[in-house]
Amino acid sequence: MSSFLRRLPAVLAAAALLALGLQTAPAVLAPPTAAAADSFTDDFNGPAGAAADASKWTYETGDNNGNNHERQWYTAGAANGALDGQGHLVITAKRENSGHTCWYGACQYTSARLNTAGKFSQAYGHVETRMKIPRGQGMWPAFWMLGGGNWPTDGEIDVMENIGREPNTVHGTIHGPGYSGAGGIGAAYNGPVFADDFHTYAVDWSPNKIVWSVDGNAYETRTPADLNGNRWVFDHPFYLILNLAVGGDWPGDPDGSTQFPQQLVVDYVHVTTSSTGGSTGRIIGIGGKCVDVPWANPANFTQLQITDCNGNAAQDWTVGGDGTIRALGKCMDVKYSGTADGTPVQMYDCNNSDAQQWVVTAAHDIVNPHANKCLDAAGVSSANGTKLQLWTCTGNVNQKWSVNQ
């Protein structure tokens, strides 16, 4: 399975600058003081048939009090939610008589629902899972978060939901006072048949903003401006939930076409903290132009450019306490960890390498400590489409950047 990529604290990046022989250590303006760190990781390593780590997860039991008119009975332990011995948690929905009574009579299905309430909760950060969802009418897999027991006042963030009748679509939604249930505020992401393979689902959550992504492609951003005057309640710790529901008002019930058992296979759940209070915004350089991901395409090897500032997510950068600079679910990266003048600066999967470590100095340089070189707009040009590269630090205007503007 995929191993979690550990991030280095920003202080190591500053130390690396010293080790590389800079005569004067730059004063670090960013990342801010609240350092990013791995706050929750579960790679679901363990023997086949074991239950999930009880220090991290609690199995909920019952019929969810009949909410949403779901049809499953959630079971305890490994009966429906077990490790497979290959680095996955497998939540299995079965058509069987559990011996329990649901809201509609004898329960006809079993499944599992796990949460981290009382064991882990967090406000803000990068929340990510990699999973392979089930298929079929009536299936309702979800990875989501709750802000407490008073719903919807305490808030709900749905990182990923799918309903089986929409095999090519996943949803990201927020619920709160005045915008809950069918009135939740969200968006759909249309892609492949998601049940065919593993995909990565994430949110980047900062004060007054949540950004959803699938496989690193950001597709939705929500802020208080989207709430039609209702209260933004995403300002306190939330806990995590993984579940596979069967039936309900939204997906509809299983029918003759639905095959059982069905499985939600979870590769990992990873959460990192993020610096708060002004850590996300534009990076403005020569000619007042913004650092930009061309065509908002975060594919690996996409070389960064400068262009007119336009407020798009492709120009929305998070300077993390881990030394990374991120947008659209990917990291600013020096191609092949190069150190030569002219090495392209690009988008790439975040991987904790030296190529993705940056220090913003008091002189408004953005320095890669590994190369001991600066982020540079090629040719001292401010033209739209000017590519970004590494270059020996010269103090020229094409290497000066205003961060988080």
CATH of domain 10-34+276-403: 2.80.10.50
Single-letter amino acid, residue 257: S
pLDDT digits (tens, 9 = 90+) for 108-155: 999 999 999 999 998 888 999 999 999 999 999 999 999 999 999 999
Q: Is the pLDDT of residue 291 over 50?
A: yes
Q: What integer pLDDT is reported at residue 35 of this predicted model?
A: 41
Backbone angles phi, psi at 286, to 5 degrees: -55, 135
Contact call for residues 294 and 327 (beta carbons, < 8 A): no
Distance, in Å, from the CA atom of 305 to the CA atom of 294, rounded to the nearest integer, reads 7
Q: Higher confidence at residue 9 or residue 69?
A: 69
- What are 20's two structure tokens? 């590389």
Strand partners, 298: none
CATH of domain 38-272: 2.60.120.200
Q: Where are the domains of the chain?
A: 10-34+276-403, 38-272
- What are 179's two structure tokens? 């915008």
- What are 237's two structure tokens? 């710790």
Distance, in Å, from the CA atom of 117 to the CA atom of 149, rounded to the nearest integer, reads 10
The position carrying tokens 């939930």 is 241
Single-letter amino acid, residue 324: T
How does strand 72-74 pair with strand 109-111?
parallel
Distance, in Å, from the CA atom of 99 to the CA atom of 112, rounded to the nearest integer, reads 16
Write the CA distances from 88 to 44, 80, 234, integer angstroms.
5, 13, 30
Q: What integer pLDDT is reported at residue 306 of this predicted model?
A: 97
Contact call for residues 226 and 209 (beta carbons, < 8 A): no
Contact call for residues 210 and 202 (beta carbons, < 8 A): no
Query: Does the global pTM surpass 0.75?
Result: no
- What are 78's two structure tokens? 């490994």
Contact call for residues 377 and 306 (beta carbons, < 8 A): yes
Contact call for residues 38 and 350 (beta carbons, < 8 A): no
Q: What is the DSSP letter of 40?
A: E
Q: What integer pLDDT is reported at residue 96 of this predicted model?
A: 97
Segment holding 139, helix H or strand E: strand 139-146
Residues known to be catalytic: 156, 161
What are the helix and strand counts (H, E) for the chain? 1, 33
Distance, in Å, from the CA atom of 331 to the CA atom of 293, rounded to the nearest integer, reads 11
pLDDT digits (tens, 9 = 90+) for 22-62: 333 333 333 333 345 678 999 999 999 999 999 999 999 99
Single-letter amino acid, residue 126: H
